[in-house]
Chain A
Amino acid sequence: MKGEFALKLAYTVTWIIQLGYIGYLVSRYKRVCEEMKDLKRTGE
């Protein structure tokens, strides 16, 4: 593997991991918000 390619790959993979985690948090947050709405609806 060439150095230039490795450099680009390392920076890209870092951001895939970080953005993947942010996406995971957002999806979990949406799920919890929906559950909270359901709980409020059923509690009324």
Chain B
Amino acid sequence: MKLVSKLFIALTLAALIFAAYQGLFVAPTEQTMGNVQRIFYYHVPSAWTAFLLFFANFLSSVVYLIWRNQKADAVAAATAEVGVVFCTVVLVTGPIWARPVWGIWWTWDARLTTTLVLWLIYVSYLVLRRYSTGTQTSVLAAALAIFGFVDVPIVYMTIRWFRTQHPSPVIGGGSESGLDPSMWPPLLWNWLAFSMLAVILVVARYRLQRMEEDVEEQHAQAALRGSTR
């Protein structure tokens, strides 16, 4: 492993520890919800990171469809998988936060339902990539990724378009909304730390994808050599 990679991993670990400390101990206690509101510092940055990863998946899918670039296809596979991991964190931490605050684990309101649909779209994308054996798998996956990404802005806008059980937007929600200034540093630290973790995971998953493609190609060549003997 290169020195730069080791340094980046060490920095990420330090950022994750510092960000967790910020969220748990430095951020002020919210007046109505109390300490449970601190889930916000993991829930929201995970959602933002998942959105960014799905956007990267969308871009690399477009690049793949235009230029049939294998590296873009590998980036698409990596970003989708890591995006699903972060989206899973959102879908799990949300109900854990909802239970003590709303009194329910789940409700079929617009924000929650569209987020679940988003997760299902990208899980189906991964299933397609994993189990489809045809030569057009990458093309089909790229097409699904482009249409699937439409759900990301819908998820973002649901709490602006509809009255939902989920709270109205606190960030970018108009003149009457807003986050206490002292809550911003813990939020941004956690987002930075999760984004750094996402970069490490995407790079690792990308390399793995390229290695697996290499192995597959070598298997195919070995089979070809065997059949021509």
Bound form: Cα–Cα A18–B89 in Å: 8
Which segment of B95-103, B107-115, B153-161, B181-189 sits at the interface?
Answer: B95-103
CB-based contact B35/A14 at 8 Å? no
**What range describes how many residues of B lie at the interface?**
20 to 34
CB-based contact A10/B20 at 8 Å? no
Which segment of B66-74, B121-129, B215-223 sits at the interface?
Answer: B215-223
Q: Given A3-B36, A21-B85, is A10 in contact with B208 using a C-beta cutoff of 8 Å?
A: no
Bound form: Cα–Cα A6–B36 in Å: 6
CB-based contact B201/A1 at 8 Å? no
Flag whether B92 is at the interface (Cβ < 8 A).
yes
Flag whether B205 is at the interface (Cβ < 8 A).
yes
CB-based contact B201/A4 at 8 Å? no
Flag whether B42 is at the interface (Cβ < 8 A).
yes
Bound form: Cα–Cα A20–B214 in Å: 26
A39 surroundings in chain B (CB, below 8 A)? 215, 218-219, 222
Flag whether B197 is at the interface (Cβ < 8 A).
yes
Bound form: Cα–Cα A15–B177 in Å: 31
Chain A residues packing against B (C-beta within 8 Å): 1-4, 6-7, 9-11, 13-14, 17-18, 21-22, 25, 28-29, 32-33, 35-36, 39, 42-43
Chain B residues packing against A (C-beta within 8 Å): 20, 24, 33-36, 38-39, 42-43, 46, 82, 85, 88-89, 92-93, 96-97, 99-100, 197, 201, 204-205, 208, 211-212, 214-215, 218-219, 222
